Amino acid sequence: MNLDDIIENFNYLDEWEDRYRYLIELGRMLEPLDEAAHNDANKVLGCASQVWLETRIAAGDAGSPVLNLKGDSDAHIVRGLVALVLALYSGQPAATILTTDAQDLFQSLGLSAHLTPQRSNGVRSMVERIKTDARAAVAAHA
């Protein structure tokens, strides 16, 4: 599902219970991560739940690196948060990822105020991991 559709659907829901259900549904729709990708190299440190992110780098326009991401979690709501973060960043040029602030999205959806501190830290850890991969891709391309 693309980010614009997710934002539109999210804003349509008034009750937070419905928004949490929608997050869980986003997680269920997440493309499965191969079992082999559930490894220490892909594990995101700093998350209370287990989270794995797999990054594949492809050449975009003019050969600039594009990050294609897959992810998974062992917790339903966190898996939905993974889906939201992937909708924001996956398929984007590395340079764009470095200038895109996930916090803006989470605030616009009201999620910042409704996530536990542990989940907020986990989201920050996921975003930092993606940005680290983007910085490495940019450096390798230079």
Give catalytic residue positions.
Answer: 47
| 65-73 and 92-93 strand pairing | antiparallel
| 3-state per-residue secondary structure call for 47-62 | CCCCEEEEEEEEECHH
Check: CB of residue 54 under 8 Å from CB of residue 71. yes
Amino acid letter, residue 138: V
Cα gap 22→73, rounded to integer Å: 16
